[in-house]
Amino acid sequence: QVSLKESGPVLAKPTETLTLTCDVSGFSLKNDRMGVSWIRQPPGKAPEWLAHIFSNDKKSYNPSLKNRLTISKDTSKSQVVLTMTNMDPLDTATYFCARIREVRWSPMPFDLWGQGTMVSVSS
């Protein structure tokens, strides 16, 4: 079954570093032309794209958060990891990972999402 599942701490303290993991099932991060993004959604607000890792390991970051984000993948574990430094209460949100199929010359939307993991930032 093709799926994504996020995991990580439910609560983080201000200034801490957050590490989130996206477990991938049903497709290969190594052999399939698939990329994975992290997207967050504060309560009652629109989604915000954070970062993306392509099948060739190229990375792209939202400039508004670039200095705080690192995205990586471990193909042997079928995982995509996001770290976000210097957490703030404004980072409270549900964090999703989502897949993009890579089609030559044709950008594609997010066709598969995880269920999301809620992270609250508070002292």
- Which is closer to other proteins, CB of 16 or CB of 49? 49
Distances from the Cα of 10 to the Cα of 17, 72, 107, 122, angstroms: 13, 21, 33, 11
- Which is closer to other proteins, CB of 16 or CB of 65? 65
Residue 38 Cβ vs other proteins, minimum distance, rounded to whole Å: 11
HSE-CB at 55 with a 13 A cutoff on CA atoms is 14
- Which is closer to other proteins, CB of 27 or CB of 61? 61
Site for other proteins, rule CB under 8 A: 37, 45-49, 52, 60-64, 96, 98, 100, 107-111, 113-116
HSE-CB at 103 with a 13 A cutoff on CA atoms is 8
